Amino acid sequence: MALDHQQEDNISQINITPLVDVMLVLLVIFMVTAPILQQGVAVELPQVSAGPVDGQDTSMVVTVGKDGKVHLDNRVIKLDELQQKLVEAMQKQSQQAVYLRADKGVPYGKVVEVMAVLRNAGVKKLGMMTAPIEE
């Protein structure tokens, strides 16, 4: 009977040291890789005092870089190709939101040109991305 009691005690004791070691290694890996995953086009957004907009649906991001190049979801694209891609996307989901990011140094005419392409592609929901004012 004493042997059975001793076996039950051994089963109830779990060594969690290896589990903690694995969790700490995973934490370090995720901390190192998280900044690497956030790549994109570096733009300096204009600052405004408006709050964030709740976005629950999937969206496309069109970026106009400081050099005037247009990017669709972080890939350089020409304006005529942009319009074709957006027409295809709008046929699949007509209420899809498109967000426009433009560097504050880009000439206004270039931004309006991109907005015209978006409008001609059938985009009904267009959002302009800005950065909050730093105090």
Please write the tens of the pLDDT for every residue from 89-133.
Answer: 888 887 788 888 888 888 888 888 998 888 888 888 888 887 777
Count of CB atoms situated within 10 Å of the CB of 8: 8
Is the domain of 32 the same as that of 92? no
pLDDT reported for residue 31? 87
pLDDT reported for residue 1? 47
pLDDT reported for residue 28? 92
User: How does strand 47-48 pair with strand 131-132?
Assistant: parallel
Number of domains in the chain: 2
Q: In this predicted model, what pLDDT tens digit does every residue of 105-115 receive, in sequence order?
A: 888 888 889 98
* Structural domain harbouring 28: 2-37
Is the domain of 31 the same as that of 54? no
How far, in Å, are 1, 8, 97 from residue 4 at the CA level?
5, 6, 66
Residue 42, in any domain of the structure: no
